[in-house]
Amino acid sequence: MEVIQQVNIIRERTNALRSSGKSIGFVPTMGALHEGHLQLLRASVQQNDVTVCSIFVNPTQFNNPDDYKLYPRTMEQDVALLQSTGCDILFAPVAADVYPQQPLLQFSFGPLEAVMEGAHRPGHFNGVATIVSKLFHMVQPHRAYFGQKDLQQVAIVKQLVQALSFDVELVRFPTVREADGLAMSSRNKRLNPEQRQTSAVLYEALQQAKEKLGRQSLASIKAEAAAYLQSKGRVEVEYFEIADADTLQPLEQVAPGQEVALCIAAFVGPVRLIDNMLVNLNEV
């Protein structure tokens, strides 16, 4: 596996690959890789001639300095995992090269960034859009792979691609979970054993809410989910939302056949976790 740190080198490399007719798959990450990332990488390896994975802990998408400082960094382990998947190129730039000057460009995603993650993490999606735009320009992929766990982020990137006419196909894969249902996340590495055991209640709350869809009002489902989570001790619920699966705007009621997104964010101890579940009312 080739390891590239310089921005000019990755551009030269991917330019040459595209010119020779090679298809490029891209998996952008912040490292601390887990099975969710590896699923995306294996798919890219199968579907493209060359797979590039980036590892870059992007400072502009953290609105909490402590979260940025404490974000897990496990480069040696990550390199071994990437090699095991057949990844061709690791792009691991340094912040000074990615941001040679303070970024001033501001993105607006309208209603999409006014809810859930956008409402609770001001500036987060501006940072996401900035780094994704930069990485797409640097890597020039034909396909880019994202996980459903970050559902709202995928929607933001989709809007970004459409608005700026990036010539890239977005591929979304279902969330990969631990045996107890916890969505795999790099932040899980920060949970101590007790917190890790407690964190399974997020998935339990999503499952319970799914079973109640079509049988109870959405307001009562959300209230009961929040109450259930808070009853489990060290869980601080930030939001539990039932939204339209396409627009991610909150719903007051659902129609037969409508696809909805159950979305949750909560702190387990000091660690903020998010999860979601897509549900079609015809299947409930």
Q: Is 216 annotated as a binding residue?
A: no
Coil/strand/helix, residue 24: strand
What is d(CA 223, CA 234) in angstroms, rounded to the nearest whole number? 18
Looking at 43-197, which runs of residues are DSSP E strands? 50-55, 89-91, 143-147, 169-173
Q: Is 210 annotated as a binding residue?
A: no
Q: Is 212 annotated as a binding residue?
A: no
Q: What is the DSSP code (8-state) at residue 176? A: P
Q: Is 279 annotated as a binding residue?
A: no
Residue indicated by tokens 């969505």 = 183
Catalytic annotation on 137? no
Which helix (H) or strand (E) covers residue 118, if one does? Answer: helix 117-120
Q: Is 186 annotated as a binding residue?
A: yes
Q: Is 150 annotated as a binding residue?
A: yes
Burial class (CB in 10 A: 0-12, 13-18, 19+), 231: exposed
Q: What are the structure tokens assigned to 201, written together?
A: 């209640």
Q: Active-site residue among 37, 124, 137, 142? A: 37
Q: What are the structure tokens assigned to 209, written together?
A: 């809410």
Question: How many Cα atoms occupy the beta-carbon half-sphere of 130 within 13 Å?
Answer: 20
For the chain, the straight-line distance linking the first and the last C-alpha, in angstroms and rounded, comes to 45
Q: Is 75 annotated as a binding residue?
A: no
Max Cα–Cα distance, the chain, nearest Å = 59
Q: Is 33 annotated as a binding residue?
A: yes
Q: Is 30 annotated as a binding residue?
A: yes
Q: Is 61 annotated as a binding residue?
A: yes
Q: Is 217 annotated as a binding residue?
A: no
Q: Is 83 annotated as a binding residue?
A: no
Binding site as annotated, residues for beta-alanine: 61
Binding site as annotated, residues for (R)-pantoate: 61, 153
Binding site as annotated, residues: 30-37, 61, 147-150, 153, 176, 184-187
Q: Which active-site residues does the annotation give?
A: 37
Binding site as annotated, residues for ATP: 30-37, 147-150, 176, 184-187
